Amino acid sequence: MEPHLQIKNSRRTVLPKLIIFCLSVLTGMAAESRPNVLFIVCDDLNTHVSTSDYPYIRTPAFETLAESGMTFKRAYCQYPVCGPSRSSFLSGLYPESTGVLNNTADMRNERPGTVTMPQAFKEQGYWTAATGKIFHNPTIDPGEIAWNEKTFFSNDEMPLEAKARKAFEAKHGLATDRKNRQLWKEFQLDYSTQTRGQAPGYGRSGLEDSQHRDGKNAAQVISWLDNKSFGEQPFFIGVGIHKPHVPFLAPDAYFDLYPQKDLKYIQPPADVWDQIPKTAISKRYEGFGFELGVENHRLRREYMQAYHACISFVDAQIGKIFDSLKKNGLWEDTIIVLTSDHGYQLGEHFMWGKVTLFEICNRVPMVIRVPGQTTPGSTSQGLAELVDLFPSLAELCEVTTPKDLQGRSLVSMLKDSNSPGKEVVYTVVTRGNKLGKAIRTDRWRYALWPDGEELYDLDNDIEEHHNLAKSSKHKAILKTMRAHLTRLKKKAAEAVTNSS
């Protein structure tokens, strides 16, 4: 099936060889010797992967990469929503500086002239390509400025969808008619769990791997590698994996891996919200069909099974890309980053979805392999942020970055697993026209909301069930955390205009 959005190579989007040569001379290395980059970012993937010590799921592709690279056990997003998070790590800037604090804002309008990671790589001699969701959506994607090629696919129509559409059209006419759009949407909500879309929908898709857009994304990358579309240039390929973002749809076989009766989870205390500021709540749980403070084990298991099926499905597609790198002799020449844009709630604190500041929503899986530099099978317990990826990859590839990046290179940590990480990491999320702000140190997580504070001892309360913000025994810790937050707020708001 043809992609519905594609940017093709053209003379005006490829740097002439002379310019590439000059740039490589300036950076002190020949273009051919610079490492390739495979940048894989999953959508809404929390730490339910085996490399993040979650024992109830199978992610062999993550493990393959971890066995030859470094696993960051404590990496954090800067905003637990797709658009703001991606604008942040693709620019190396905190969300307050990008101006992107929701899914509709466009960084080109909020902060004109900002140079993003793929743009910097393209301008300095890399062949850049992306498939799937790297920037938040095709409207916000910078197109030819950042990419030599860009594709974006859709799923094939599910058998259940086709059956629903035929039933609807027999009674109302074409579902695509403008007059029928709302009625068709309502019809889908009631027809099956699979046809609900982002309502959210979930269930067995009835499709093969290759009929899902993530299967198509993998096939596209493999095609680029097999055909050597990058020519003599080093490549920067972004792979935007769509799942496990809602709807939680995956081929049937992946559901069989996770019988609902075998799923494990911790039920939060019924009164957990008696001690937490109410603005910390995200009401997305209502859309999933839950009540605050009330557990629904049947529904929770249905969603968890579908979410886990999606994870195993995308892990399989990632594994196919790794196999292609090896087959094409590129494995030892390619830096690989595998991560997610943010975490996801699956009933913890009775929350569902994203837009919270709890650990399960802020922490992301992250595995990085740098041939010749990362020790195979190494792990880092140091604190890291997604905003650090741009300066890290730029340093490894000798790409010059804008001077105002707020992230910090992870290269010293990649070379030495004992190298210390950051003292503090920082995540924000909006509540109306205000921000909730959280910081994480080695032991503590602190959050400041419009109506109160949170403080958790993560050494002894990893589930964050006991808010210590009002504890008289923790006044000194609270004072320290407030000071950390004040410093980071100032740094994150340094919206220095970038000259392009």
Which two three-digit tokens encode residue 77?
A: 């997003």
47 and 345 Cβ atoms separated by less than 8 Å: no
H, E, C per residue of 220-273: HHHHHHHHCCCCCCCEEEEEEEEEECCCEEECHHHHCCCCHHHCCCCCCCCCHH
Helix (H) or strand (E) holding 338: strand 334-340
pLDDT in tens, 31-70: 458 999 999 999 999 999 999 999 999 999 999 999 999 9
Stretch 278-300: mean pLDDT: 98
Joined tokens for residue 344: 């996801």
Amino acid in the structure at residue 437: K
Confidence tier at 13 by pLDDT (50, 70, 90) = very low
Most confident of 20-24, 74-78, 491-495: 74-78
Q: What class does CATH assign to 5-156+206-423? A: alpha beta
> Number of C-alpha atoms within 13 angstroms, CB side, residue 170?
6
Q: How far is Cα 358 from Cα 445, in angstroms, rounded to an integer?
A: 9
Instruction: Based on DSSP, count helices (H) and strands (E) in the chain, helices before strands.
Output: 16, 17
The tokens describing 215, both together, are 């299967």
Give one DSSP letter per residue of 150-174, joined into a string.
EEE--PPPPHHHHHHHHHHHHHHS-
Helices (H), 384-474: 389-397, 411-415
pLDDT of residue 493: 86
Positive/negative CA dihedral, 466, 467, 470, 476: positive
| Alpha helices (H) along 30-81 | 60-68
Question: Within 10 Å of residue 150's Cβ, how many Cβ atoms?
Answer: 26
- What residue ranges do the domains of the chain occupy? 5-156+206-423, 159-204
- Report the distance separating Cα 105 and Cα 172, nearest Å: 36
pLDDT in tens, 206-235: 999 999 999 999 999 999 999 999 999 999
State phi, psi for 60 to the nearest 5 degrees.
-65, -30
**389-435: pLDDT as tens digits:** 999 999 999 999 999 999 999 999 999 999 999 999 999 999 999 99
Strand order across the 444-449 sheet: 425-431, 434-440, 444-449, 452-457
**Under a CB-based contact definition with an 8 Å cutoff, are residues 336 and 36 in contact?**
no
Helix (H/G/I), strand (E/B), else coil: 382: strand
Distance (Å, whole) CA 148 – CA 212: 24
Q: Which of 401, 402, 420 is nearest to 410 (CA)?
A: 420
pLDDT tens profile 323-349: 999 999 999 999 999 999 999 999 999
Predicted pLDDT of residue 33 = 87
Q: For residue 114, list its beta bridge partners.
A: none
Q: C-alpha angle 25/238/209, rounded to 5°?
A: 145
Residue 139 — left, alpha, or beta (φ > 0 → left; ψ -120 to 50 → alpha)?
A: alpha
Q: Nearest Cα to 412, choosing from 441, 373, 444?
A: 373
* Structure letter (DSSP) for residue 45: -
Q: What gap in Å lies between CA 192 and CA 189, rounded to an integer? A: 7
Can you tell me the distance from the alpha carbon of 406 to that of 411, in angstroms, rounded to the nearest whole number? Answer: 15
Cα separation, 305 vs 265, whole angstroms: 12
Structure-derived torsion over alpha carbons of residues 175, 177, 179, 185, reported in degrees to the nearest 10: 30
Tally the residues of the chain: 500
Query: What is the model's pLDDT at position 1?
Result: 40
Report field, pTM of the whole predicted structure over 0.85: yes
